[in-house]
A and B are shown apart, each in its own frame.
Chain A
């Protein structure tokens, strides 16, 4: 596998040469500093741009075109990464050997059509397609209320720090949505094409001429580059833990507990945090799983995860409301064990081997490889080989030191009805 980063005039082309796959995979990212109202716009764009173009007027025609091209897989996405928002596209298709000569050229034409030739009428997105896309995003926003996992996590982020990027919901916002028109959305898209930082990642059994064609694909004008880091380290801290309970019509209760991770070194943020969270709540043999679920039967799912970009940890679980107090006591005990170093070397070894295994698995999947290079570009993560070495340096002492930096901030509970079962 051979990785190259080519700085072309106004974008970065990252190529990964490998003959492991029969497919060629392309990922294109447009990135700019994050603003709340842009999230909703980007979400609509990601629905709209891959559903119709000037040439293919509707999703039906566009889908037919992709089937003719031997079923290209394609998708688009809108996401936030700390200080930045990203609009991106994925394309993956069979190499010429398995389809027909010239397919790469045809696919590149198709990609150009999607990105540079949107369905425009009178300097605005065509109304029908626009309103379909807008309605989907509206549904997405409304539907989070049906999903207790997503909803409770959103509420936790809202309550954690209203002023921070954290409180921007990834699915968008209804008020922002109202303001989007086919005209101002097109203006926004033009602005993206003109001003966003662009990274293009290509993976597959590539010939020199393919790379040449792909580099010719885009003519972007000059633009500024954003140097600020993606990381955000100033999430509001709290002297006293905030506890919030809200009623719901769900059967099961959901709890999300947020913890600040204070003053982490890069090594702690990128490595120790992983091992710590894995031992605490990373899998079937973690403390939380063992103690809260297996030993006390208090829940079905429970886990912890680290949000490295914000230096935060979250514990989340689904449980029966009547066990609320017991759950909290047991979670507290698990965290306390971590602080006191009540875990053995075996647990550390286990976490490390899981970590290394997950690194090696990256090489088996095209998108994992591309995502790995994307996060290397954006989050300045170490190379895989480097990561394998550094994780070995995490020891018990560093985990206990890390545990002291874990500070509880907020307990959010979405209360289910503790329905007593109806027995006959």
Chain B
């Protein structure tokens, strides 16, 4: 299927392969080609019925990330980094709460590179020995995160904002939890979530879409995947209340850091997820971001020096807004933010201005094969479809709907964390 990406002068081509794998291609006249191969499996899935089994099973925290490391291990001993380097390409992988992605970029030998991406991800090789060895490496990785106050604060914010949903668990797990991971568990997770029907491939850059589909079909036809039923994942009923409203963390930081997190129930709203996400984001951006009088005042009063970081996290029932800042007066900061966000209204002239900038950032996405690729990926993960006319969707956003939506949500469930040196 060929669809025009409005205003970008580009087309999106897509096809579903017989085994269920979705393939998306955006050709563009660049030197480079960027390909990502993603499974809809990240750290927030930790209890499910493994393929060909009957009962729910719970897995140790951090197993999706552990699995990502191990998928890089190849039976013949040559690892993907080396394979791609030989061809002048680079490769990498990453795990987040909602996905695991394997990727390469390179200007040459595309066919070989793409075949290899599919092959190495689709040929797991886990042994007791190589699983044990990985534990040492991941422990070092976790140690590194443990030293980073921003990571610690972010992880803790999710942990305290959610009560039951596994999004509260940090992507890498803990040093204790990864110890429990075995070869068999890895295979169970792998066989469930790395089935082609749970994955998608996106190629952006200097390619011919027809050729991409042919390579993928040829490659996949040589592999035997059993038909899969829908994966059953246990999602505990997450309440609207937060796990912990207030916490102090003692951490050796020069500047105290603070997070203020708002948990918003998004079920039963009259708006699409695209609208909900944008209205909520721009509400907080207008209230607390760099163009707000609030932020200007905080800076003048010396409460903050840098802008407040506004992050958005989404689960099936909730959106959490994570506000992160550095301040010498954490209590006052929290107090003032709490008051500020209660006056829920957006002004038309402000919102129209934000839309102008949003449209232009959408058009700029078209200039980069990396941004195009992540646009498609984010669309699939967030909305389960790829939007080709963001331009019109943004145009349609309006102040009336924004204010109406704001009436339907409440900001009473909050969690705050103050991180500072022990006095």
Q: Chain A nearest CB: distance from B8 CB in Å?
A: 8
* 8 Å CB contact of A21 from B81, B133, B367: B367
A341 in the interface, Cβ–Cβ < 8 Å?
no
In the assembled complex, the Cα of A252 lies from the Cα of B364 at a distance in Å of: 40
**With A297-B137, A353-B87 as contacts: A94 and B290 at CB distance below 8 Å:** no
Known: A132-B305, A146-B254, A284-B82. A354 touches B147 (CB 8 A): no
**B107 adjacent to A67 (CB under 8 Å):** no
Could you mark each residue 121-148 of chain A with 1 if its beta carbon is under 8 Å from any beta carbon of chain B, else 0?
Answer: 0000000100010011001001101111
B291: Cβ under 8 A from any A Cβ: yes
Name the B residues within 8 Å of A319 (CB-CB): 140
Complex alpha-carbon distance, A285 and B81, angstroms = 6
Q: Does A227 contact B (CB under 8 A)?
A: no
Select the residue from B30, B326, B357 with max chain A CB neighbours within 10 A. Answer: B357
Contact A70 B88 (CB under 8 A): no
A307 contacts chain B at the CB level, 8 A cutoff: no
The CA of A376 and the CA of B147, in the complex, are separated in Å by 38
**Given that A94-B360, A320-B140 are known contacts, is A251 also in contact with B31, CB under 8 Å in the complex?**
no
A370 to chain B, nearest CB (A): 14
Instruction: Name A252's contact: one of B143, B252, B326 (CB within 8 Å).
Output: B143
Residue A293 is within 8 A (CB to CB) of chain B in the complex: yes
Contact, CB under 8 Å: A60 / B254 = no
Give A349 to B146 CA distance when docked, in angstroms: 38
Chain B 353-395 near chain A by CB (<8 Å), digits 1 or 0: 1101111110110111100000000000000000000000000
Do A416 and B364 touch (CB < 8 A)?
A: no
User: Which of chain A's residues have a CB closer than 8 A to the CB of B176?
Assistant: 421, 423-424
Chain B residues with CB under 8 A of A299: 140
Docked CA distance A70–B368 (Å): 18
Tell me whether B141 is interfacial, beta carbon within 8 Å: yes
Rounded to whole Å, the gap between the CB of A355 and the closest CB of chain B is 8
Are A364 and B369 in touch, CB under 8 angstroms? yes
Bitwise, A395-424 to B at CB < 8 A (1) or not (0) is 000000000000000000000100001011
In the complex, what's the smallest C-beta–C-beta distance from B253 to chain A, in angstroms?
Answer: 6
How far, in Å, is A392 (CB) from chain B's closest CB?
Answer: 13
Minimum CB–CB distance from A118 to chain B (whole Å) comes to 18
Which chain A residues border B30 with CB–CB below 8 Å? 20, 363-364
> Do A70 and B357 form a contact, CB below 8 Å, given A60-B295, A360-B32, A363-B31?
yes
Does B29 lie at the interface of the complex (its beta carbon under 8 Å from any beta carbon of A)? yes
Known contacts A284-B82, A300-B144, A318-B140; A366/B367 CB under 8 A: yes
CB distance from A275 to the nearest CB of B (A): 12
Provide the B78-116 mask, 1 if CB < 8 A to any CB of A, else 0. Answer: 011110011111110000000000000111100000000
Q: How large is the interface on A (under 10, 10 to 19, 20 to 34, 35 or more residues)?
A: 35 or more
Within 8 A of A (CB), among B312-368: 326, 353-354, 356-361, 363-364, 366-368
Residue B149 CB within 8 A of the other chain: yes
Tell me how many residues of B have a C-beta within 8 Å of chain A. 64
A349 to B29, CA, bound (A): 27
Q: How many angstroms from the CA of A60 to the CA of B308 in the assembled complex?
A: 13
B255 contacts the other chain (Cβ, under 8 Å)?
Answer: yes
Query: Closest CB of chain A to B32's CB: distance in Å?
Result: 5
Measured in the bound complex, the distance between the Cα atoms of B372 and A362 in whole Å is: 17
Interchain CA distance A360-B129 in the complex, whole Å? 40
A20 touches B290 (CB 8 A): no
A60 partner residues in chain B, CB cutoff 8 A: 290-293, 295-296
Find A71's partner among B299, B306, B360 (CB 8 Å cutoff).
B360
A371 on the B face (CB < 8 A) = no
Q: Identify which of A284, A318, A352 gathers the most chain B CB atoms within 10 Å of its CB.
A: A284
CB proximity of B85 to chain A, nearest CB, Å:
5
Across the interface, name the chain A residue whose C-beta is closest to B307. A59
Q: Is B302 in the interface zone, CB < 8 Å from A? A: yes
Q: Does A5 contact B (CB under 8 A)?
A: no
Quick check: is A164 within 8 A (CB to CB) of the other chain?
Answer: no
B222 contacts the other chain (Cβ, under 8 Å)? no
**For the complex, what is the distance from the CA of A148 to the CA of B175, rounded to whole Å?**
21
Complex contact B32–A59 (CB within 8 A): no
**CB–CB B89/A67 < 8 A:** no
Rounded to whole angstroms, the CA-CA distance of A21 and B79 in the bound complex is: 36
Knowing A146-B149, A361-B31 touch, does A71 contact B356 (C-beta < 8 A)?
yes
Q: B306 → chain A, closest Cβ, in Å?
A: 7
User: Whole-angstrom distance from the CB of B283 to the nearest CB of chain A?
Assistant: 16
> Interface centre among B86, B146, B147, by most A CB within 10 Å?
B147
Interface flags for A273-306 (1: CB within 8 Å of B; 0: not) read 0000000000111000100010001011100000
Q: Does B300 touch A at the CB level, under 8 Å?
A: yes
* In the complex, the 7 A-B pairs of residues with the closest C-beta atoms, listed nearest first: A284-B81, A353-B88, A71-B357, A300-B140, A285-B82, A297-B136, A357-B88
